[in-house]
Amino acid sequence: MMRITTTPAAAIVDATAYAQAVENAVGAAAAYYAGGTSPLDDDAYDRLVRGIADWEAAHPDQVLPGSPTGKVAGGAAEGDVPHTVPMLSLDNVFSAQEFTAWTASLARRIGREVTRFGVGPKLDGLAIAARYRDGRLTRLITRGDGTAGEDVSHATGTVEGLPEELAEPVTVEVRGEVLMTAAQFAYANEVRTGHGGQPFANPRSAAAGTLRARERVHTVPMTFFGYGLLPLPGTDRALAGRLDGLAHSDLTTLAAELGVHTSARTAVPDVVTETPEQVLDRVKEIAAVRAGLPFGIDGIVVEADLAADRRDAGSGSRAPRWAVAYKLPAAEKITRLLGVEWNVGRTGVVAPRAALEPVVIDGSTITYATLHNPADITRRDLRLGDHVTVHRAGDVIPRVEAPVAHLRTGEERPVEFPRQCPRCGSDIDTGEERWRCARGRNRHLVASLAYAAGRDQLDIEGLGATRVVQLVDAGLVADLADLFALRRDRLLALERMRETSTDNLLAAIARAKEQPLSRVLCALGLRGTGRSISRRIARYFATMDDIRAADADAMQRVEGIGAEKAPSIVAELAELAPLVDRLAAAGVNMTEPGATPPGPDAAPGGHDVPGAPAEGGPLAGMTVVVTGAMTGSLEKLSRNEMNELVERAGGRSSSSVSGKTALVVAGEGAGSKRAKAERLGVRLATPDEFAALVAGLLP
C-alpha cells in the first residue's frame, strides 16, 4: 500500500488571513514567473494555495478576484503571443486516495472507465510551445496565462533536444518542458558567478531566468523534453486530422521520430498502463529512482491516453480534466543558514558543514547539510543568516544549493574560513578546492591508525584510540606498517601493559595479516574510498600488484569510480608505495580470496568481469540492502561483514532501497528502509531467512 503523502493545507482562520494568503501566493507566483525566483519553495506554495482553495470552498461569497485558484500560473504570468489551443496547468493530487478519487470523477464525466493511462515524469522546468513551419523552428513561446505567452525565440540555439529543423518538412507545434539538467545547472552557476553574478538557487529558477534573459554576455545550455504535437494554421489537412485522432503516447512517439527529445531514452520513460493500480505501481517506480535522475522532477503526470477520452473529458479554465499531476514529497525547501562548522577527516581534509534552521524535507528533519568545500562557499557567495535552498531526495545526504539572494536583509555576515587546522592548529594547504591540514595523514596518525585497526578494517582487537595514543607517544609506531613490527619486550615496558594484554594484542596483530586485500585497502584510508569501494577494487583487480599497476583509465573500470575519483586513487597509491611495500614485507596479505585479475578487454564494473560478484552464488545478480540489528547466527556480524557476505554470495550490497533492490534483510528495529521496501514491493527477509539463503558461506 502506498504511503499517504498529502501536503497539508495552510490554516486560514479568517477573511484577513485569507486576503494575506492570496497576496502572498500571487506575489510568490509573480516573482517566479518574472525571473525564476520566489520567497516560497514548492511545498510552501502548494500548502498556501490548498489553504486558499479550502477557504474559498467554505466561503464562496468572499472569493477575491485576484485569487490564484482557477488560473494558469496562479494568474501571475502574461503574454502577447496567442496560443492556438490553450496551454493549461495541471491539477494536483498528493496521495493514492486522491488519485483514486480523480479517476472515479473522470469515469463519471465521460460515462465509462478509462482503459489506457499515460504515466510519465512531471519535469521541473518551464512549459514551452515551439512552432515549426515546413520543418524549421520559427518561434518559442512560454505558457504565459494559458491563452497567450511570451516570445522567447531569442533562446533558440541554446536549448538542446529542440532541433532547428525537423526530420520532415511539416508545420506543427511541439509542446514540452525546458529545464536544466544537474550538469547544466552546475555549469550555469560556474559561468554566472564567473561573470560576477549571483548563483541560481536551483535548476528550475536557472532555466526560467536564462530562457527569458534577452541580453547577456554569456549563454548556457538547457534541455527540452517534448510531450505533445498540435496542428497549426497551415498544417497539412491530412496531418492535422491524424494528430487530432492519435493517442497521446503515439503523439510522443511521433515527436521523437521527428527528432525532438523526449523522456523515451531516460530512466523514466512515459509508459501506458491499463488500470489505476498499474498507475500507482508506476508512480512508486518513478519515485524510487528520482534521487538518481540527472534532471529534476516534482511529480508524475497521469493522463487519459486515448484521444476520445480526452475529448469527452474536456478542460476547465485552468487545467484539463483528463490529466493530473501526482505530486511527490518536496525534495527542496528554503531555510536559514545559521552557521558553518569545520571538521577534519582522517586524511586531513578540512570539510565545512552547514548548520541550518530545522526544516522538514520528505519526512525528515534536516539540521545539517553538505557544503562540499571552501571554494564552493565562495563560488555560491553564501553568508551566515542567508535564506538558502536545501535539497534532499530519497536517501541522498542533504546539500545546500545556493542562497536566495533576493531575500537578503543586509544583516547577513560573511562565512569565516579557518586559518589553521581546527584539530591540531597546523597550517592548512589551500592549494586545491578541498583544503587539507598541511601535515595530512601523518599529523592525524592516531585517527588513521585507530580507523585501520577498526572491526571493519583489520579488526585488531585491543587496539583502540587510547592504546594507539600510547604507542604513538612512546615512539613505537609512526605508520601502519610499524604495528606489524611491534616487539613483546617494548610493549611490556608500557604502562598498563601486562603479559596477557600484550600477548592478546600481538595475536590480534598477527591475525590481521590474514585479512583479505579489500580490508587492507580500506585500512589505508585512500581518499574517496570506503568499505564498499575498497571491496570493489579488490574484487576487480584481485592483487595489490595489479591495483598498483592500474592507471586512471583502468581504475575507472571499477563500478562506482568515475573520472574525478580514479586519478586521485591512483596518485595516492603511488604516494603510499613505500608503506605498502613494508606491509607486504611484514607478511600482510595482498590478495583477495576468490577473485581473479581482469583481462585486457574487461568491461567496466559488470558481472562479466573478474572481481565482480560470483555468478553462481545464491544471490547472483541481486542488489541487497541490510538494515536493522541482526539476530541469530548473524548477530555478531558487523554491517561491513554482512555486506561482504552478500558479495561472496554473488550479490551487490547497497545502503539505499530503490526500484533496483532485489532483497532487503530487515533485522530488529528496521525502520524507514523496511517501510520503503514495503512501498516498492521489494522482497523482505528476516535474519534467519537470509542466513538460510547463504548457509554455506557463513563464517
Structural domains in the chain, CATH included, are 15-75 (1.10.287), 81-327 (3.30.470.30), 332-418 (2.40.50.140), 444-512 (1.10.150.20), 613-699 (3.40.50.10190)
pLDDT at 40 over 80: no
* Model confidence pLDDT, tens digit, residues 371-399: 888 888 888 889 999 999 888 765 567 88
Distance in angstroms (rounded) separating the CA atoms of residues 51 and 407? 24
Confidence bin at 29 (pLDDT 50/70/90)? confident
Contact 264, 171 (CB under 8 A): no
pLDDT at 604: 45
pLDDT of residue 4: 33
For residue 101, what pLDDT is reported?
Answer: 95
Query: What are the φ and ψ backbone dihedral angles of 557, each rounded to 5 degrees?
Result: -70, -15
- Ramachandran assignment for 440, one of left (phi > 0), alpha (psi -120 to 50 degrees), beta (any other): left
Region 411-423: mean pLDDT is 90
DSSP string for 484-543: GG--HHHHHTSTT--HHHHHHHHHHHHHHTTS-HHHHHHHHT-TT--HHHHHHHHHHH-B
**Cell numbers linked to 618:** 545464491
Q: Is 391 helix (H, G, I), strand (E, B) or coil?
A: strand
What is the average pLDDT value for the chain, to the nearest integer? 85
Classify burial at 427, counting beta carbons within 10 Å of its beta carbon; exposed 0-12, middle 13-18, buried 19 or more. Answer: exposed
On the question of pLDDT at 3 being above 90, the answer is no
Pairing of strands 663-666, 623-627: parallel
Q: For position 606, what pLDDT does the model report?
A: 38
pLDDT of 370 over the 50 cut: yes
**Confidence band, pLDDT 50/70/90 cuts, at residue 695:** confident
User: Which is higher by pLDDT, 32 or 25?
Assistant: 25
**CA distances to 90, 175, 301 from 110, in Å:** 19, 25, 20
Q: Say if residues 72 and 145 touch (Cβ distance below 8 Å).
A: yes
The answer to whether residue 122 is catalytic is yes
Are 340 and 415 contacting, i.e. CB atoms less than 8 angstroms apart?
yes
Catalytic entry in 71, 122, 333, 676:
122
Q: Give the lowest-confidence range in 52-61, 235-244, 571-580.
A: 52-61
pLDDT in tens, 560-582: 788 878 888 998 899 899 999 99
Q: What's 333's DSSP letter?
A: E
Closest CA to 185 of 168, 207, 213: 207
**Beta strands at 222-231 and 172-179: parallel, antiparallel or unpaired:** antiparallel
DSSP lists the bridge partners of residue 279 as none
Kindly tell me if the per-residue pLDDT of 605 is higher than 50: no
Q: Which of 6-15, 197-206, 597-606 has the lowest mean pLDDT?
A: 597-606
Weakest mean pLDDT among 236-250, 288-302, 389-403: 389-403
DSSP-based helix, strand, coil % in the chain, nearest 5? 40, 20, 40
Measured torsion, CA atoms of residues 234, 238, 239, 241, in degrees rounded to the nearest 10: 100
Q: In this structure, which amino acid lies at residue 375?
A: A
Between 500 and 698, name the one with better pLDDT. 500
pLDDT at 136: 95
Q: How many residues does the chain have?
A: 699
Specify the amino acid at residue 333. Answer: K
Measure the CA angle with vertex 461, ends 458 and 463; round to 5°: 85
Question: What pLDDT, on a 0 to 100 scale, did the predictor assign at position 611?
Answer: 40
**Average pLDDT rounded to a whole number, residues 351-356:** 92
Residue 137 neighbours by CB under 8 Å, 6+ apart: 130, 131, 156, 162, 163, 164, 165
CA distance 427 to 1: 56
List the Cα angle 325/327/331 in 5-degree steps: 145
User: What pTM, to 2 d.p., does this model score?
Assistant: 0.57
Residue 621 has pLDDT above 60, yes or no: yes
The three three-digit cell numbers of residue 530, written as one number: 570506503
Q: What is the pLDDT of residues 435-489, one digit of tens each?
A: 888 765 555 677 788 889 988 899 999 998 888 888 988 889 988 999 999 999 9
